[in-house]
Amino acid sequence: MLIDAHCHPFDFFSATGKKLESPNKEIFFASSAWNLEQFLFNKASGANGVHAFAVHPQLPVVNPSLVQGSLETLYRLASENQLQAVGETGFDFFNEEFRSTEKLQTELFIAHAELAIAKSLPLILHIRRAMREVFTHSKILKKTSAVVFHSYSGAVAEGESLLRRGVNVYFSFGSSILLNHKTAIQACALLPFERLLTETDAPYQPLRHDFSDWKDLLAILQGILRLRGEKTDINGLEEQIYENFHNAYG
């Protein structure tokens, strides 16, 4: 079995005209959406899906007029018990334009975290150049059932510190560990084995083709095996990642 802890089936279909397909193995996946059309498409994309919704932290810049509607949809889906996770939410300070919406990003993050706590749902984080904000809000993160770092880009010490603070955190890795991202490589190699997840972020994190997809999971798993040096084979690694996915998402 293969695990994709973070992907966008609707966006993949929009970009390619095709649906995500398994490379001859059963796929368990977690999808994210920020509008209702995406969410409904993602729910129809496979029986083994965990489906999340959130106001993406980039939305206040990319299309600010849609933020309020996205937030209202989040609360409606939650009230109807349609959500299995909340996310991706968080902080994106990649450039000055995104950083300019820091106040709104913070307000949205707190709203999402409080909803995840109230509904006992895992929280999926999108964090770019903003690990300081994670620690600022670590007390509220500690109250969530689980926190999944999509495409974890923090340092080993930061991940270990969150665990020591009592945050039930999981670290998801994708193509970055195969593309010479040294911080991600070190984190994937050294963080606890029982906290690791695999992801494609399909279609947004390609390896050597235009779009990432579920076939990339095989290469990502092989990359983890090379990094970890664990006394296991590919089947043992798949089983451990599945167990981690189950523990994170329930």
The residues spanned by each domain of the chain are 2-14+23-249
| Pair type for strands 123-128 and 169-173 | unpaired
Tell me what pLDDT residue 186 has.
97
| Residue 181 token pair | 């991202």
Average pLDDT score, the chain: 96
Whether residue 24 is predicted with pLDDT greater than 90 in this model: the reply is no
Tell me what pLDDT residue 230 has.
75
| Angle in degrees, 0-180, between the axes of helices 216-228 and 234-249, rounded to the nearest 10 | 100
Quick: pLDDT tens for 62-85.
999 999 999 999 999 999 999 999
Specify the CATH architecture of the domain 2-14+23-249. Answer: Alpha-Beta Barrel (3.20)
Return all residues near 234 (Cβ < 8 A) that are at least 6 apart. Answer: 221, 222, 225
Find out whether 153 and 176 touch, Cβ atoms under 8 Å: yes
Distance in angstroms (rounded) separating the CA atoms of residues 111 and 129: 21
24-43 average pLDDT score: 96
Quick: pLDDT tens for 172-215.
999 999 998 999 999 999 999 999 999 999 999 999 889 999 99
pTM score, whole prediction: 0.96
Tell me what pLDDT residue 233 has.
87
Quick: pLDDT tens for 208-242.
889 999 999 999 999 999 999 877 788 999 999 99
Return all residues near 164 (Cβ < 8 A) that are at least 6 apart. Answer: none
Whether residue 37 is predicted with pLDDT greater than 90 in this model: the reply is yes
Please name the residue that has the structure tokens 């409606």. Answer: 76
Per-residue pLDDT band for 164 (boundaries 50, 70, 90) equals very high
Query: Which contiguous run of DSSP H or E holds residue 28?
Result: strand 27-31
Quick: pLDDT tens for 127-151.
999 999 999 999 999 999 999 999 9
Residue 164 CB coordination number (10 Å): 8
- For residue 154, with 0-12 CB atoms within 10 Å meaning exposed, 13-18 middle and 19 or more buried, which class applies? buried
What distance lies between CA 67 and its chain's CA centroid? 20
DSSP code of 194? G
Length of the chain: 250
Tell me what pLDDT residue 16 has.
97
Tell me what pLDDT residue 231 has.
72
Quick: pLDDT tens for 79-111.
999 999 999 999 999 999 999 999 999 999 999
Return all residues near 171 (Cβ < 8 A) that are at least 6 apart. Answer: 149, 152, 159, 187, 188, 191, 195, 196, 197
Whether residue 53 is predicted with pLDDT greater than 90 in this model: the reply is yes
φ and ψ of 173, to 5 deg: -130, 145
Nearest to 20 by CA among 28, 32, 11, 12: 12
